[in-house]
Structure 1
Amino acid sequence: MNLLLAADEPMMLQNLNRYFSKEGYCVLTAGDGEQALELFYEHQIDIAVLDWRMPKISGVEVCKEIKKVSRTKVLLLTAKGEPEDERYALKAGADEYVRKPFDPKVLIARACKLTSGSSQLHAGDLMVDMEAQKIFRNGEDLQATSKEFQLMKYLIQNKGQIVTRKMLQDQVWGFDYMGDDRTVDTHIRRLREKIGESRIKTYRGLGYCLEDHPDE
């Protein structure tokens, strides 16, 4: 799932990038409104998190442009706290409005709520229950381990896209993990045994992909 993150504060941009990446989003970052719109038109964006005050083009103007041509969800960040500011943001098309300073975990939760629509993610006969942290196939609980669930969660959120071993390591074991690729390969093999061998395709030299239409 692609998330556009735009802000002119480098430290905030870096920190939020790490938070959102940890949640399984493919994050595209922009330092101003003009760059944000360029990325929006170059990529399929599922949600845009925009700082209101940005150089060149403000976040609220970027929001207006996005909403003119798409149904992409937009969350605006702002230091503005007056009720009329919030009304103006919502009138511009924003789906959510978060005031600074904010707790990153609250921001993540609100963004996830906009994009999920449901606590369940589906891929064919597979269902990932985000709240219960379980994987089901044709309604049967596959008794997945915590690591298998985290792998499946990331793969299904990026269904149809190749994800590298490094990306999986960062998402499941953390950015400071010092192990090697074989750990990822071992867990992928065990996950395949539960969900079906052909569901996760290996792309040599690149990584893995949860296929939309596996050959089974």
Structure 2
Amino acid sequence: MNVLIADDDPDMLGIVSAYFRKEGFRVLPARNGQEALELSEEHKIDLAILDWMMPQRSGIEVCRELKRQQYAKVILLTAKSAQDDELKALESGADDYVRKPFEPRILILRAKKLLHLEDAVTLGSLRVDLRGGKIYREGADLEATTKEFQILKCLIEHKGQILSRKALLDQVWGYDYLGEERTVDTHIRRLREKVGESLIKTHRGSGYSLGMPDE
């Protein structure tokens, strides 16, 4: 999913962008309102996070234009605290309003809620329905088996970590499973045939981790 992040404070822009990239989003950074609008003309925007006070074009102006251009969720960031300001932000079309300073992880949670990602994860062209137990590519069900889905879900839940075969066996097959650890390799090979080779990384002698699919 494409996330447009616009803020004239380079430190804030870098921090927020890093958090969203870590969560697997494709980040489109902009240093002012005009850059934000130019990016919105070149890319489909799923979510825009806009600082209210920016040079050239304000976050309010960018929000209004975005809502005219395409369907995109918008979160406005501001140091303003008056209720009238919050009302103005929402009247401009913003879907949410976050006051500075804020905790980036809270912003991530609000963004996921807006995008209805609490029960689903998007990885490139893949959508993983965590509640329904399905994996889709561009809307098509890849018909992953229960074990294949559980392996991918486990890797998603431990993103950034390397999981050994034993750890995957314990979490997917259960602690009382007495089969060979190599069964994990067989299931991951079949899963890769469906989701793509780049999504699951092999770490020789260590195990597997979640990668990012090719854009």
Give yes or no for TM over 0.5.
yes
Question: C-alpha distance in 1, partners of 2:126/2:21?
Answer: 27
1:110 to 2:110 alignment: yes
Matched, 1:96 2:96: yes
| 2:41 matches 1:45 | no
Which one of 146, 153, 160 corresponds to residue 172 of structure 1?
Answer: 160
C-alpha displacement of 1:147: 6.4
Q: Which residue of 1 aligns with 2:206?
A: none
Cross-structure match for 1:149: 156
How well do the aligned residues superpose, as a CA RMSD in angstroms?
3.4
Residue 140 of structure 1, aligned match among 139, 146, 150: 146
SS of residue paired to 2:4: strand
Query: RCO (CA 8 Å, sep 6+): is it higher in 1 or 2?
Result: 1
The total of aligned residue pairs comes to 171
Give the secondary structure class of the aligned counterpart of 1:8: coil
Q: Given residue 144 of structure 1, which amino acid in structure 2 is its aligned partner?
A: I
DSSP-derived class of the 1:144 partner: helix
Deviation string 1:152-187 (CA, Å, 9 cap, x unpaired) is xxxxxxxxxxxxxxxxxxx6359xxxxxxxxxxxxx
Verify: 1:199 aligned to 2:187, yes or no.
no
Query: Which residue matches 2:61?
Result: 61
Deviation at 1:9, TM superposition (A): 0.4
Question: Structure 1 residues 82 and 42, CA, compared in 2 at 3 Å: closer, same or farther?
Answer: same
For 2:173, the equivalent position in structure 1 comes to none
TM-score (norm 1): 0.67
1:129 maps to what in 2?
Answer: 130
Q: d(CA) in 2 for partners of 1:125 and 1:10?
A: 31
- SS of the equivalent of 2:115 reads helix
Q: Matched residues in 2 for 1:28 and 1:125: separation?
A: 20
Unaligned runs of 5+ in 2: 136-142, 163-184, 199-211
Q: 1:60 to 1:12 in 2, by over 3 A?
A: same
Q: What per-residue deviation string (whole Å, max 9, x for no partner) do you get for residues 115-148 of structure 1?
A: 1255135899984417x9x777567243317763
- SS of the counterpart of 2:151? coil
Q: 1:100 to 1:191 in 2, by over 3 A?
A: farther
Question: Can you list the C-alpha shifts for 1:65-99, whole angstroms capped at 9, x where unaligned?
Answer: 00112210000000111111111111100000001
Q: TM-score, normalised by structure 2?
A: 0.67
Instruction: State which structure, 1 or 2, has the greater radius of gyration over its C-alpha atoms.
Output: 2
Q: Residues 7 and 31 of structure 1 are in contact (CA less than 8 Å); yes or no, is this contact kept in structure 2? A: yes
**Amino-acid identity (%):** 39
1:6-38 deviation line (CA, Å, top 9, x unaligned): 000000111111101011110010000000000
Query: 1:52 & 1:126 partners in 2: Cα distance?
Result: 32
Question: Using the alignment, how far apart are the partners of 2:105 and 2:39 within structure 1?
Answer: 25
**Letter of the aligned partner of 2:146 in structure 1?**
E
Seen in structure 2, the aligned counterparts of structure 1 residues 27 and 91 have a Cα distance that, compared at 3 Å, is same
- Contact preservation (8 Å) 1:76, 1:96: yes
